[in-house]
A = this chain, B = another copy of it.
Amino acid sequence: MSVTAAKGFRAAGVAAGLKSTGAPDVALVVNDGPNDAAAAVFTSNRCKANPVLWSERAISDGRLRAVVLNSGGANCYTGAEGFQVTHATAEEVARLNALSPLDVLVCSTGLIGLPLPQDRLLAGVADATTRLTATGGGDAAEAIRTTDSVSKQASVTSPHGWSVGGMAKGAGMLAPALATMLVVITTDALVDGPGLDSALRAATRVTFDRLDSDGCQSTNDTVALMSSGASGLAPDPVEFTAAVTAVCHDLAQQLLADAEGSEHDIAIEVRGAVSEEEAVEVGRSVARSNLFKAAVFGKDPNWGRILASVGTTSATFDPADLDVAMNDVWVCRKSTPAESADGIDLSGRKVGVVIDLKAGPATATVWTNDLTHAYVHENSAYSS
C-alpha cells in the first residue's frame, strides 16, 4: 500500500508541532532511484500557495528525488517570508539527503494566511529523514491528514512485476481542476518524464478533476508522480496509464467518501452530450447545486432541482427532451414526470443520477457529496 508499495522509495511521517493537537504533521518521501523522472500537476487557482510556486519550478525539468509535505498550515498568502520558509524546507531536505533543492517538491496544507513556523518545520524534516524506511508509507499518509477522518492509500501491482502506489489527503474544498488535496504517487516501473506526465494528466483528468464535493477550489493542490525504476521494467504505456488511473480513482473515491460532513456519495452520469466537455459542464452544474445537494441529504428525490441546474449550462440539448434517472428510476422522460419517485430509497450512502441530453455520443461522470448540517458545522468552526 501507499507510496512505499513500489520499490525504491522510503518514507516517514513525524509530529513536528505544527498542529496544536500534537498529531503527525510532516511527511517525507524519498526516491532512491536509479530513475529520477517525475511529473506533477497543480491547482488551476490563480491564487497559488508558496509551496506551489516553488514546486512548479522544481518539476520543470521532469526530475524529482523527494517530496516533503506538511499539514498544519497552507503557507498561502504569507508573503515573501512564506516563500522563504518553503525554500528553506527544500534546502534542508536536500542537505540532509544529499540532493539538489530543485529536486525536492514541497506541499503544504492547512489554513490560509497564517505563517508556518520555520524552525519546527525544519526540525520535523530532520526527524523524518532519520526515520525514512521502505515501509514508512503508512506513517507518511498519516502525517498529511487535516480534517481527514482516515488516511488514504492505494496501490496496484502489474502482473508484469511493477507497482504503482499512492497516498492522498483531502476532505474539504474539493473542487475542479483538482480537489483540495495533496497526492503523492510512486512507481518502480521505468518511465521517463514525458511518459509520467502523459499518464498523470490522463489519470487526473477522469478522476480528481471530476470530483466536485463543494465547488471550492484550493490554493495548494498538488499531485506528484515519481518513478524510481527500481523494478528495472519498462511498462506498456497503455497499461501504465491504466494503473496510474486506477490508483487515482481509488484515492479519489476515498476522498469522496471522507468529504467533510457528507452522508452521501453522488455519482452524476451525463449521457448523450455532444462532447465530453459539455457532459462535464452539465454534471458539474448539478454537483454545485446547493438545493439539489440539500435535497439528497434530506433523502428527497427532488429531480426538479436537477433540471433547474442543467438549464443553467450552455451545453447542447433540447429543454423539452431531457431524461433523468435517480437510482435507476427514470423519474423524468422528455422533460415531463415519468416513473414515480415515491419508491426511490436514498437511505444508502451511494446515490446515482443519470441525465440523458440526447444530443450526441459523449458521456462523463462527476462525483459530489450532499450538503449537510455537519458540512456547515465543520466549515463554520474550522479556524475558530
A300 touches B377 (CB 8 A): no
CB distance from A110 to the nearest CB of B (A): 10
A78 touches B337 (CB 8 A): yes
B219 touches A112 (CB 8 A): no
Given contacts A290-B290, A304-B76, A308-B216, whether A332 and B113 have CB atoms under 8 Å apart is yes
With a cutoff of 8 Å between Cβ atoms, the chain B residues found around residue A373 in the complex are 373, 376-377
A113 touches B308 (CB 8 A): no
CB distance from A68 to the nearest CB of B (A): 22
A77 within 8 A of B: yes
Q: How far is the CA of A290 from the CA of B336 in the complex (A)?
A: 31
Chain B: CB-nearest residue to A335:
B77
B77 touches A307 (CB 8 A): yes
With a cutoff of 8 Å between Cβ atoms, the chain B residues found around residue A312 in the complex are 45-46, 217
B299 touches A384 (CB 8 A): yes
A297 within 8 A of B: yes
Q: How far is the CA of A28 from the CA of B332 in the complex (A)?
A: 32
Given contacts A46-B319, A377-B373, whether A311 and B219 have CB atoms under 8 Å apart is yes
Interface string of A308-333 (1 = CB under 8 A from B): 11111100000100100000000110
With a cutoff of 8 Å between Cβ atoms, the chain B residues found around residue A289 in the complex are 215-216
With a cutoff of 8 Å between Cβ atoms, the chain B residues found around residue A313 in the complex are 46
CB distance from A289 to the nearest CB of B (A): 6
Given contacts A78-B336, A172-B291, whether A380 and B298 have CB atoms under 8 Å apart is yes
- Chain A at the B interface: mostly helix, strand, loop or mixed? loop
CB distance from A162 to the nearest CB of B (A): 37
CB distance from A117 to the nearest CB of B (A): 15
CB distance from A336 to the nearest CB of B (A): 3
Most buried by B among A82, A172, A336: A336
> Pick the contact of A379 from B48, B219, B291, B383 — CB < 8 Å?
B291
CB distance from A341 to the nearest CB of B (A): 8
> Pick the contact of A307 from B47, B305, B331, B381 — CB < 8 Å?
B47
A371 within 8 A of B: yes
With a cutoff of 8 Å between Cβ atoms, the chain B residues found around residue A172 in the complex are 291
With a cutoff of 8 Å between Cβ atoms, the chain B residues found around residue A218 in the complex are 308
A112 touches B305 (CB 8 A): yes
A371 touches B382 (CB 8 A): no
Per CB-CB distance, the 4 closest pairs between chain A and chain B, nearest first, are A112-B304, A298-B380, A47-B311, A79-B336
